[in-house]
A and B are shown apart, each in its own frame.
Chain A
């Protein structure tokens, strides 16, 4: 296929999910984010810790909205967030004088390492980026950022996914663990 012909695409968009799937996706996302956000705003509010980061919104899309995707499996969810967080913090520490470079390196390296460890999880890219462009509070966490919020938050969302996604007859979760 020549270069321009490739841009036309080759197939059609997959079918829409059922109404019940839409409702379950909403409900799961609500419960998952509510759990993490409650801890963030009510339990760790007075400490230096945060529990809620933007990339969890993206994780919710996968683990409550596309439960069968390999990208949404526990290995990817936990591994993707923790590995990407470590890479993001490292990038910030090494290149905090040149934030454009630190940002790009953090995300690009996170994608590559997630691939290499079979933990590809798209929100991980955001987790890595947040380590660089996040608040002072985030920066002050250092590598702890990989444990809390990244690892702990993902673990809480995983717990909600394990319970919630196995209640409807039409759903099961996970497809695999490791």
Chain B
């Protein structure tokens, strides 16, 4: 009996070794996004490999976990590491516009395709032909936000707080220009820096309190707003808050204090779209993640990985060929049908604009609610 088990084990190990020997080298993609994005990318890679891989090659992700930071300097270091790895065929990243913009210089110089899932700064895709993104430029979001403002209040007493980086400065500029076109002048504008401490932020609260706007447009991420949300609510209980897509990562689980409830924010995709694939992804994602709901970053990172897998399946492990294939998506070749919807790139590598307005905490305990489901409704200039 013992002898027979040993033989079976030897046979199994031999078969395994032979199988591993026959297996082709995996295709490797770099991932430099936040945790939400990494989860979505992992699910996509698992989905691809479960389906047999890419032309016999397994899809392997190399994740830069430290890139959850929005720091451009950290992004540069991560990009340098990924670009130095000759097995990396493309990169999904980075976390925000500043990080993506900084890293894009490295990738373009090394001829590596970079698909930014959530970076919206207009300058990003100007960096070079290897820069793509699964969202539209903030040129469109500025218009969208301005239209939303006008819909909410024709003559708002509006304050703008924006993060003073590539993302916030660019979006704020387009937004303010659109407001001027609509005859609206913000009564207060204040920049902030990522990582500002409470002292700094409270001075913003103080200024807001003294200027008493009825509408606050927050162009930035939710972390800093969350820090002062309660104080703002106390000081200005009727203040309505409209946030840019920087709030898209906010989920119910991350706002346990429910300080963000009622805030309207720009969403890059419609989670309530009746799509079985999206629904199944959400179920699978939430089951595996166990800590929260899907976000824009997780879905868009998933789509980016699947899209790159399609490119690899079509052209093989050739960086330039991958770039050329992607550039044709939605133009010379059909658009890609992802969980985030139809993906088609324009000549700059930007996706067609699609924005949705969501109200945070509107359906608790169900998450966010999309109040405007189409770009067409709010996206007119």
A and B are partners in one complex rather than unrelated chains? no
